[in-house]
Amino acid sequence: MTVGTLGRDRDWPAQSGAHRTALWLAAAFHAEREQWVLWLPVALGAGVSTYFALPVEPVWWIGVLWAVAGVALAVLAGPTRLGTYLLAWVIAASGFGFAAAQLRTASVATPLLAERLGPVEVAGRILDRELLADGAKRVVLGELSIAGLAQAETPRRVRLRLNARHGEEAALGRRIAVRALLQPVSPPVAPGAYDFQRHAFFQGIGATGFSIALARSLRDDAPRWSFWIALERLREDVGQRIRAGIGDPVAGPLASALLIGDRAGIPEDVQEAMRDAGLAHLIAISGLNFALVAGILFFVVRGALCLVEPVALNYPIKKWAAVAAFAGSAFYFLLAGPTPPTERAFLMIGIVLLGVLVDREAISMRLVAWAATAILLVLPEVLMGASFQMSFAAVLGLVAAYEALRDRLAALREGVGPLGRVGLYVAAVLLTTLIGSAATGIYAAYHFNRFPLYGLVANLVAVPITAHWIMPLGMLALLLMPFGLEHWALVPMGWGAASVIATAETVAAWPGAVALLPAMPLWGLLAASAGLIWLCLWRGAWRVLGLAPVLLGLMSMALARGPDILVAGDARLMAVRGADGLVLLSGKGASRITIETWLRRAGQSRVEQARSGRGPDPASASFESAEASLDCDALACVYRRQDRVAALVRDQAAVAEECVRADVVVSLVPIRRGCRAPAAVVDRFALWRNGAHAIWLERDAAPLIEHVAAGRGERPWVARPPSRAREPD
C-alpha cells in the first residue's frame, strides 16, 4: 500500500462520516416540511434586527429592493429547485422585515430635543396621563408649541411630570400651558444598557421634563373628540373605581394592574417583591387574562343560547358565542391598552376564535407564528424589547412542550377521579411555571440580570388565586360597573389581591430568593435565542441540537468580563471593579437609575453594596473602600489593576500630574491641554460627546474603551449634542 493510498484510506472514514451527517440533516429537514412556515417570523425578525444593528440610517429603498430581489429569485428558481427556492423566500421575508422597520421609523419620526431647555412655556393637549403613587401626574402632551422652538424643531410629543397640586386642569384631553424645564430623553447609562431614547422615539416622544409652576387650561374654540382620549378616560375611570371599591392602598392598585394593566400606585417594594418571587408576569396583561375573558363570555353566551330550544336546535350557537367572545376580547384589548403582551394575546385568542368559526383547531405553533408575523410587520421595534421577547419565548416553550406531551396528558386524564384531577391541575401549574420560567429566564438574565429561584412555589399559590378568584371577580366587576354595583365583586377581589401580595412578600423574603447575574453579552443572547427557537419549532429528534447554543448563551455570562472602570455621561458617577470582583461606586448627585443599572449589570444589589461599605449612596463624594488597588485624595484617585495605573481625576489641579504617571486618565473635568503620556484619555469633552464610557484594562495591550455613542450610531432616535451647544464646564 502506497503512502498516497494510505492517506486516502485514512481520510475516507472522516469524509464518510461528514457525508452521512449531511444526509441525516437533509432527511430530517425534509421530514419536517410542515414546520418550514414557522420560520417566517424568524426570517422577518432577522431583517428587523439587521435594520436596528446598522450604525447609520439606510436609504429608503434598501428594504424594498431586498424583499423584491428575494421574491424574484423565488419565482425564477421555482419549487423544483427546493434549496434555492427556500433560501429565496428567507431572503424575501428578511427583506420585508427590514422594510417594515424602515417604514415604521419614517412614520413615527419626530424631532428630538438635544440639549436642556428652559424654563420655557409649553402648550399642548394631554394625550395620556398616569397617576403616580405620590399624587403627582405623568402626562404626555401632543399638538405642541414650545416657546423659542420653531415648529420644525418641536417634538411631536413630550412627557412631563406635574406635581400633586395639579387638579382638573390636568385632565385627559385638555389643552394646557405650563412652564417647564425640558431635557433630552436619557440615553443608555452604560454601553449595552437599555436605550430609553429609542423606546421614546417610537412613542413619538422627543423630550421629557417637569413643571415648575401650575398648568393653566387653554380655551379651545374647536375641541375635537378623540376615540383614543375617550378610551384613556374610560380606562382611568375604571382604574380609579377599582382602587376605590377595594379601598386597600396596596391591594387596590395591584387589582387594577391585574385586571386592566394600570400599575399606577403600586408601591415600589411590592413591585420588587413580585419580581423577586417570579410573579411579575401576573401584572402584565397576557394570555391568561384574555383566555379568561374570552372563555367566560364564550361559555356564558353559549349556555344562555342553549336555554332557548328553537335557537339551540336551528342555529350555530357555538359560532355565535365565538363572535361574542371576540367582541368582548376586542373591547378588553382596547381597555387594557396596546402593549406587546396584549397584542400577542389578542391576536392569538382571535385566531383561536376564528378556528371555531371555520371548524378548525387553532391552538398550535402556527397560531404563534402568525401572531408574531403580524406584530413584527406592524410594530417591528417591539422585537428589541424585553416584553416581546419574554412573551413569545414563554408561549413558544409552552406550545412546543404541550404539543409534545399532548398524547401522554390525554392518557393521564382518562379515568381519573376528582382527587386525581386536582393532582393533575397542580402538576400542570408546576409544569407550566417550569417551562415558562426556563424559556423566559434567558431574557430575564439579559435585560434584568436576575432570576427568581422560588418562582415555582410562588406561582403554585398565586396563579390559581389569580385565575379562579381575582380575574372572574374582576370580569364580574366590569359588568356591574354601569349599574354602580361593582363593589359586590371588588371587595372579595381585593381579598385575592392581598393574598397574592402576601405570597410575593413571603417568598421574596426567603434566603436566596433571587439570583443576581452579571450582564449577558449580545452574542450570548443571540446564541441562546437561536437554540430556543430550534428546540421549539422542530419536532424531530434533531431538535435537541438546540441545547448546545442555549447552554453556550448561558455560559456567556461567565465567559464575559465586566469593565474595570465605568464613567457616567454626565460625569456625576464613576465605578471601578475591586479585587474581589465587586463594584465600588463614587459620585455626587448621580441618578438612582444609573447606580441601580450599573450594580444590576454587575450582578450586585444596593443591599450588597451597603453591607460591604462600598458607597452606593448617590450623595457620597469619594470611594469608600480600603481596597489596596484604590488610593484617593480630594483631587483624584489612582486605581491599579492588570499591572496598569488609571487616574480618576475630579479636579483640574490634578490633571498635569496624573497625565505624567498614569496609563489611563479618566477626567470628570475637561482637559484643555495635551495629555500625551497615557495610553488613553477620557475627559469631560468625550463624555459630553459620546456618553457613558466603559474601560477594560489589559496587562499586555492597550486598554479597550467602549462608549454609548459607538454602539448606537447615527440613527433617527439618537439625540446628539448640537455643535452650537455650550461646551461642558
Q: What is the dihedral of CA 118, 123, 129, 133, to 10 degrees?
A: 40
On the question of pLDDT at 14 being above 60, the answer is no
How many helices (H) and strands (E) in the chain? 26, 18
Residue 3 has a pLDDT of 41
- Tell me: pLDDT of 619 over 80: no
pLDDT exceeds cutoff 90 at 30? no
Share of the chain above pLDDT 90, in %: 30
- pLDDT band of residue 88 (cuts 50, 70, 90) is very high
Assess contact for 204 and 127: CB atoms under 8 A: no
- CA gap 30, 10 in Å, rounded: 32
Are 520 and 560 spatial neighbours (Cβ–Cβ below 8 Å)? yes
pLDDT at 9: 45
The CA angle 366-370-371, to the nearest 5 degrees, is 115
The answer on pLDDT for 725 being more than 70 is no
Q: What pLDDT sits at residue 363?
A: 65
Which among 431-435, 450-454, 499-503, 662-666 has the top mean pLDDT?
499-503
Q: Is 211 helix (H, G, I), strand (E, B) or coil?
A: strand
Give the Cα separation of 189 and 266 in Å (integer): 25
| Confidence check: pLDDT of 398 > 90 | no
207 and 155 in contact (C-beta within 8 Å)? yes
pLDDT in the model for residue 314: 86
Per-residue pLDDT at 617: 44
Handedness of CA 169, 175, 181, 186 (dihedral sign): positive
DSSP 719: P
Tell me the CATH class for 117-224.
Answer: mainly beta
The whole-chain average pLDDT of the chain stands at 84
Residue with cell 342555529: 315
Least confident segment among 26-30, 143-147, 339-343, 540-544: 339-343
Element (H, E) at 515: strand 514-516
Range scoring the smallest mean pLDDT among 65-69, 661-665, 725-729: 725-729
Mean pLDDT throughout 552-578? 89
- Tell me what pLDDT residue 426 has: 79
Grid cell for residue 595:
447606580
**Rounded distance, CA 204 to CA 198, Å?**
10
pLDDT at residue 475 greater than cutoff 90: no
Q: Is the pLDDT of residue 211 over 60?
A: yes
51-68 pLDDT, tens per residue?
999 999 999 999 999 999
| Largest Cα span, the chain | 101
Q: Where are the domains of the chain?
A: 1-28, 32-108, 117-224, 235-516, 522-559, 565-712
How is residue 350 written as a grid cell? 382571535
With a pLDDT cut of 70, the percent of the chain lying above it is 90
Q: What whole-number distance in Å separates Cα of residue 350 and Cα of residue 127?
A: 28
pLDDT confidence of residue 459: 87
**How do residues 517-526 score in pLDDT, each as one tens digit?**
888 999 999 9
- Residue whose C-alpha is closest to residue 339's, from 261, 414, 246, 255: 261
The pLDDT, as a whole number, for residue 588 is 63
The arithmetic mean of pLDDT across residues 411-436, rounded, is 79
What is the pLDDT, as a whole number, of residue 386? 86
What is the distance between the alpha carbons of residues 105 and 60, in angstroms, rounded to a whole number? 11
Task: Yes or no: say if 342 and 285 are a contact pair by the CB < 8 Å rule.
Answer: yes
State how far the alpha carbon of 477 is from the alpha carbons of 48, 284, 286, 299, 438, in Å: 41, 19, 19, 18, 35
Contact, 399 vs 380, CB < 8 A?
no
According to DSSP, the residues that pair with 576 across neighbouring strands are: 565, 584
The pLDDT-based confidence of 503 (bands split at 50, 70, 90) is very high
Q: Is the pLDDT confidence value at 559 over 90? A: no
Angle at 242 between CA 239 and CA 247, to 5 degrees: 125
Q: Is the dihedral of CA 364, 369, 372, 378 positive or negative?
A: negative
- Long-range (24+ apart) CB contacts under 8 A made by 521-524 are 521/192, 521/556, 521/560, 522/192, 523/556, 524/446, 524/552, 524/553, 524/554, 524/555, 524/556, 524/557, 524/559, 524/560
CB 117 within 8 A of CB 148: yes
Instruction: Judge contact between 672 and 665, C-beta under 8 A.
Output: no
Instruction: Output the pLDDT for position 715.
Output: 93
2-6, 478-482, 627-631: which has the minimum mean pLDDT? 2-6
Cite the DSSP H helix spans in 315-364. Answer: 317-336, 340-357
Residue 214 has pLDDT above 90, yes or no: no
Query: Reading across the β-sheet that carries 664-667, which strands appear in turn?
Result: 630-632, 636-641, 644-649, 664-667, 680-682
Instruction: Report cis status (omega within 30 of 0) of the bond before 41.
Output: no
Q: Which residue has the higher pLDDT, 394 or 12?
A: 394
Mean pLDDT of 160-187: 84
**Which of 157, 79, 178 minimizes the C-alpha distance to 112?**
157
- Predicted pLDDT of residue 262: 78
Out of 7-11, 309-313, 506-510, which region has the weakest mean confidence (pLDDT)? Answer: 7-11
| Most confident option among 42-51, 379-388, 391-400, 646-655 | 42-51
Q: What is the pLDDT of residue 606?
A: 59
Q: What is the pLDDT of residues 251-264, one digit of tens each?
A: 998 998 888 877 77
